[in-house]
């Protein structure tokens, strides 16, 4: 089933479609195939996507992964901590 157009906005039905797809899709095999250095960023106070069920597992599955945990950061940390996230991204890319 194809997602509805612009599935991240709009009706509760669209939101439920995204939640179902994100929560029921196992990306384990895909993550194991990564073969480039990868930066995984996550806030330890994310109430939407718990760090233990996502970043902690992903960082163990992806070869050459670097995990950066932002203490007290919420789900929307790319907005709330944009300067720090951008600085960390640039530092990773320059390394």
Domain limits for position 46: 34-94
- pLDDT of 63 reads 95
Residue 27 lies in a domain: no
Categorize the per-residue pLDDT at 3 as very low, low, confident or very high, splitting at 50, 70 and 90: low
Residue 43 lies in a domain: yes
Task: Report which DSSP code applies to 3.
Answer: P
- Calpha distance 75→44 (Å, rounded): 9
Residue 81 lies in a domain: yes
Residue 54 lies in a domain: yes
Domain count, the chain: 1
How many other C-beta atoms are found inside a 10 Å radius of the C-beta of residue 62?
21
| 2 pLDDT more than 80 | no
Q: What percent of the chain has pLDDT over 70?
A: 89
Residue 78 lies in a domain: yes
Model confidence over 12-56: pLDDT tens digits? 888 788 888 888 999 999 999 999 999 999 999 999 889 998 999
């Amino acid at each position: 089933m194809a997602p509805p157009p612009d599935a991240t906005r709009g009706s509760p039905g669209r939101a439920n479609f995204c939640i179902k797809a994100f929560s029921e899709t196992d990306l384990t095999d895909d993550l194991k195939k990564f073969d480039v250095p990868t930066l995984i960023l996550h806030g330890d106070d994310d109430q939407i996507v718990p760090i233990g069920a996502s970043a902690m597992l992903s960082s163990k599955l992806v070869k050459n992964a670097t995990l950066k945990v932002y203490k007290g950061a919420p789900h929307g940390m790319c907005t709330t901590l944009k300067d720090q996230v951008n600085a960390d991204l640039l530092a990773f890319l320059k390394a």
